[in-house]
Copies of this chain bind each other. A is one copy, B any other.
Amino acid sequence: MLPAVPSQYRQIFLRQRPDGIPQPEHFGIRTVPMPELSEGQFLVRNHYLSVDPAMRGWVSAVGNYSTPVPLGAVMPSYASGEIVLSHHPDYEVGSRVMGMLGWQEFAVCNGSEIKRRIQDKDEPLSLSLGILGLNGFTAYFGLIDIGAPKDGDVVVVSTAAGAVGSAVGQIAKIKGCRVIGIAGGAEKVRWCKDIGFDDAVDYKRAGFSSQLAALCPNGVNVFFDNTCGAISDAVMPLLANGASVVVCGTASVSSWTPWPMGPRVERHLLVKRARMQGFLAMDYEHRYNEAVICLKNWLYKGRLKHREDILDGLEGAPGSIRDLYRGDNAGKRLIRLVA
């Protein structure tokens, strides 16, 4: 039986523009009336909302790959849910979708928001926001297309216990690489080793750099970086000839005003004939199916482990980006709206 469509629902909106990492006070929560659907529209009841590091960039005023979220607008986010009402010929009531549905209980859609239809009835909806969603796609395309490791390569991954990093390391293992993770704290280091990393180092401990260097005596062939800070600076001098550096995120930078300084990378790139390259998973939308097939196969065979860190209730969303940047989460952070 489908849930009834209520006459109103709640949503999280952007109340103030943050300078750095969005805090709970930058968001507000409001109740809005349920609109009438027009022809070509359908209504999704969100089950899970995603919390992603990239959302910080979406609300930032600094030039970015998207126009900043306007003040007062619903906070955009990936979410997954079920279609509960439809005036659209291609979207049936009862089918399940993932897309840019926003931090809200219901989303009125026209189809342009939808990134993936979840055909497999047995696939838990939460997966489409993590390992079978943007995190998995980021790991898959970033490592395989940009990092392009070869069998036997040494792959170093920062934020290695995170939703993306842990997938990167496991995919690199599947591809025949030796994988070293960099993570913060003993629990995260242990998790990296539990899921098959060859080794992992705790960047919060003294001697981190020399420990890392000792683990990579022949240099680093692929560095998958999510940090852009002291951790990256420790890895760059270890690059091997022909290395690739995948620029996936800049988690360690709390503000881009003033622009942060760091050791110049040019000499490393020159001497090691190395490549440093940024990418965005959203550019690979036309290849998401390829990634889903591979990732699901590895997942179901037990070769790809993942963790979810689920908060119940819309009220958990506003503080959740800050939590990510503090490293408070243990696995992919999701907000669950429908139990």
Interface residues, chain A, with chain B CB atoms under 8 Å away: 57, 63-65, 225, 228, 232, 247-250, 253, 256, 259-280, 283
Interchain CA distance A264-B261 in the complex, whole Å:
5
Closest to A266 in B: B228
Q: Contact at A275–B273, with CB atoms within 8 Å? A: no
Q: Contact at B264–A260, with CB atoms within 8 Å? A: yes
Q: Contact at A247–B269, with CB atoms within 8 Å? A: yes
Contact of A253 (CB < 8 Å), options: B264, B274, B279:
B264
Chain B residues whose C-beta falls within 8 Å of the C-beta of A270 in the assembled complex: 247-250, 278-280
Task: Select the residue from A247, A274, A283 with max chain B CB neighbours within 10 A.
Answer: A247
Interchain CA distance A22-B270 in the complex, whole Å:
20
Chain B residues whose C-beta falls within 8 Å of the C-beta of A271 in the assembled complex: 57, 63-65, 278
Copy number of this protein in the oligomer?
2
Chain B residues whose C-beta falls within 8 Å of the C-beta of A250 in the assembled complex: 264, 266-267, 270
Interchain CA distance A316-B228 in the complex, whole Å:
45
Interchain CA distance A228-B262 in the complex, whole Å:
13
Chain B residues whose C-beta falls within 8 Å of the C-beta of A266 in the assembled complex: 225, 228, 232, 247, 250, 278
Q: Apart from A63-B271, A269-B278, A274-B277, what 19 extra A-B contacts exist at CB < 8 Å? A: A64-B271, A228-B267, A247-B269, A250-B266, A253-B264, A256-B267, A260-B263, A261-B264, A265-B276, A269-B276, A269-B277, A270-B280, A273-B277, A273-B280, A274-B278, A275-B276, A275-B278, A276-B276, A276-B277
Closest to A274 in B: B278
Closest to A237 in B: B63
Interchain CA distance A65-B267 in the complex, whole Å:
11
What is the minimal beta-carbon distance from A76 to any residue of chain B, in angstroms?
Answer: 17
Interchain CA distance A179-B64 in the complex, whole Å:
26
What is the minimal beta-carbon distance from A222 to any residue of chain B, in angstroms?
Answer: 14
Interchain CA distance A64-B272 in the complex, whole Å:
9
Interchain CA distance A310-B57 in the complex, whole Å:
53
Provide 12 A-B residue pairs closer than 8 Å at the C-beta atoms, listed in order of the A residue.
Answer: A63-B271, A260-B264, A261-B262, A262-B264, A265-B276, A269-B277, A269-B278, A270-B280, A273-B283, A275-B277, A276-B276, A276-B277
